[in-house]
A and B are shown apart, each in its own frame.
Chain A
């Protein structure tokens, strides 16, 4: 698979390590009343779709940026690549 890095251009997926579902960006509020339940769902449960999947890849052998890659899990086709930093900021995180 070739991942089209937003800054570096097309890179071999071998340069990356894979973390998993991009919902891991949305860390629950630890002060919420039901924080224990929210963290259980956040840490252990996954949608695991067959089809489009937004997921976190780390450019370990490159510029060490985190990417959000949208990829089809049935065909392995990569549909979109964003910097995870931009995705997180768009959601009001890490200002």
Chain B
């Protein structure tokens, strides 16, 4: 489906009867060069960049439900490049640069809005850590500004600056961070991949891998066997369930993270605020709802819903930071399932099976990574070498002592 101004006018005059689905709904072929498991943001971006950057178009994306129905539709839409470690920050900076040109690149309105992200600090130690992280960001080509209390007050005068436990002493401002219309990311990549010949096959669940003599020959699915030269798993949240079918145990636990949206309000919050000490972060959607969240529920879960203690914890954090929230009514809450890895960082790697590739372990940072994840995964699939900003995302890094542990928490996935 292609769009134009002329088409919009024509359809407006003829009752909008000429619009067609944005992507095809093909039956699977017998085999492909690459089969991507998982039609989320990362899988669709991988297919798009395989076709666009590497000219590989004999590709299928197979999805057990509908595309964009998993975590790309269940996040809080934030994009940012504000990491500390060398293994991470160049990757996330590539991702943010791709976000900045994404709409022009795939010619689809994803409502990329660089409205700025402010991480609040409350103590001298936190300010030191923020300054250090800001310097690391700048060294890697990102942007960071350290604000004092007055700087934060000028931006957001309605915050509670004199909270007895966490008085606001400043913040690290990342102006190029922001939000994106998350569903449109899946749709834009799907449309771009489909136009280049990629088959997007929905309602098709992988039930097993065909592996002979250490080589992956394809996948068994609910629509029959599909052969492939290369099979690329891209199912963060369900990685352990899928890779178990290939005999792999992963350094990953699945956890549920809840998010919330309020009734629509007039514009009150024009950026993203994170209150890490109080387990709360918040932005305002273009429709007016406050979109916010907090910590994991902390226990292994595949339920896509959480429990009330964390709802209470998040709302308490919100009330401590923005007392005016007390009169706002909640509209919806939901949960998404995260691949929580053992060091809080992701994987983009080959596996021990020839022709089987793995992308996962995104913790709760998968959405902002979508373009770079697809870009680097496509690079790995096309060239069999890791992209230069993703060389650290190896599955064997724990065995080799090369963890990328931003928070220094060790092998305790729910604390990352």
24 A–B contacts, CB within 8 A, in A order? A1-B307, A13-B299, A13-B307, A13-B309, A18-B299, A18-B414, A20-B253, A20-B300, A43-B398, A43-B411, A44-B411, A45-B249, A45-B251, A46-B240, A46-B249, A46-B251, A47-B244, A48-B241, A48-B253, A49-B240, A50-B302, A73-B301, A76-B303, A76-B307
Which residue in B240, B299, B307, B414 is a CB contact (below 8 Å) of A48?
Answer: B240
Residue of B nearest to A24 (CB): B411
- Tell me whether A53 and B300 are in contact in the complex, defined as CB-CB below 8 angstroms, given that A44-B342, A46-B253 are known contacts: yes
> A95 interface residue, CB < 8 Å from B?
no
Check A47–B249 contact: CB distance below 8 A: yes
Q: A74 vs B303: C-alpha distance in the bound complex, in angstroms?
A: 5
Q: A18 vs B253: C-alpha distance in the bound complex, in angstroms?
A: 13
- The chain B residues found within 8 Å of chain A, CB to CB, are 238, 240-241, 244, 249-254, 298-303, 307, 309, 342, 398-399, 411-414
Check B250–A46 contact: CB distance below 8 A: yes
By a CB distance below 8 angstroms, the chain A residues around B413 are: 20
By a CB distance below 8 angstroms, the chain A residues around B303 are: 73-76
> A80 interface residue, CB < 8 Å from B?
no
Which residue in A12, A20, A47 is a CB contact (below 8 Å) of B240?
Answer: A47
Nearest-neighbour CB distance to chain B for A12, whole angstroms, equals 8
Nearest-neighbour CB distance to chain B for A34, whole angstroms, equals 12
Nearest-neighbour CB distance to chain B for A42, whole angstroms, equals 10
Check A20–B254 contact: CB distance below 8 A: no
Interchain residue pairs A-B with the least CB separation, the first 9: A48-B240, A44-B398, A50-B302, A44-B251, A45-B249, A14-B309, A18-B299, A18-B298, A44-B342
By a CB distance below 8 angstroms, the chain A residues around B300 are: 20-21, 48, 53, 55, 73
Secondary structure call for the A interface: mixed
> A40 interface residue, CB < 8 Å from B?
yes
Which interface residue of A41, A43, A50, A74 has the most chain B CB atoms within 10 A? Answer: A50
- B-facing residues in A28-56 (Cβ within 8 Å): 40-41, 43-50, 53, 55
Q: A17 vs B413: C-alpha distance in the bound complex, in angstroms?
A: 13
Nearest-neighbour CB distance to chain A for B136, whole angstroms, equals 26
Q: A73 vs B238: C-alpha distance in the bound complex, in angstroms?
A: 12
Q: A20 vs B253: C-alpha distance in the bound complex, in angstroms?
A: 9
Question: Assuming A47-B244, A49-B240, what are 8 further A-B pairs, CB within 8 angstroms?
Answer: A1-B307, A13-B307, A14-B309, A20-B413, A21-B253, A53-B300, A71-B299, A73-B303
Nearest-neighbour CB distance to chain A for B237, whole angstroms, equals 10
Check A48–B301 contact: CB distance below 8 A: no
By a CB distance below 8 angstroms, the chain B residues around A21 are: 253, 300
- Tell me whether A48 and B399 are in contact in the complex, defined as CB-CB below 8 angstroms, given that A20-B300, A73-B303 are known contacts: no
Nearest-neighbour CB distance to chain B for A10, whole angstroms, equals 15
Check B250–A48 contact: CB distance below 8 A: yes
By a CB distance below 8 angstroms, the chain B residues around A19 are: 412
- B-facing residues in A47-69 (Cβ within 8 Å): 47-50, 53, 55
- Tell me whether A40 and B398 are in contact in the complex, defined as CB-CB below 8 angstroms, given that A18-B298, A20-B412, A45-B249 are known contacts: yes
Q: A14 vs B241: C-alpha distance in the bound complex, in angstroms?
A: 28
Residue of A nearest to B399 (CB): A40
Nearest-neighbour CB distance to chain A for B285, whole angstroms, equals 29
By a CB distance below 8 angstroms, the chain B residues around A43 are: 342, 398, 411
Check A76–B249 contact: CB distance below 8 A: no
Check A73–B254 contact: CB distance below 8 A: yes
By a CB distance below 8 angstroms, the chain A residues around B252 are: 46, 48
Q: A7 vs B391: C-alpha distance in the bound complex, in angstroms?
A: 50
Which interface residue of A21, A41, A46 has the most chain B CB atoms within 10 A? Answer: A46
Check A74–B302 contact: CB distance below 8 A: yes
Residue of A nearest to B298 (CB): A18
By a CB distance below 8 angstroms, the chain A residues around B298 are: 17-18
Q: A49 vs B254: C-alpha distance in the bound complex, in angstroms?
A: 9
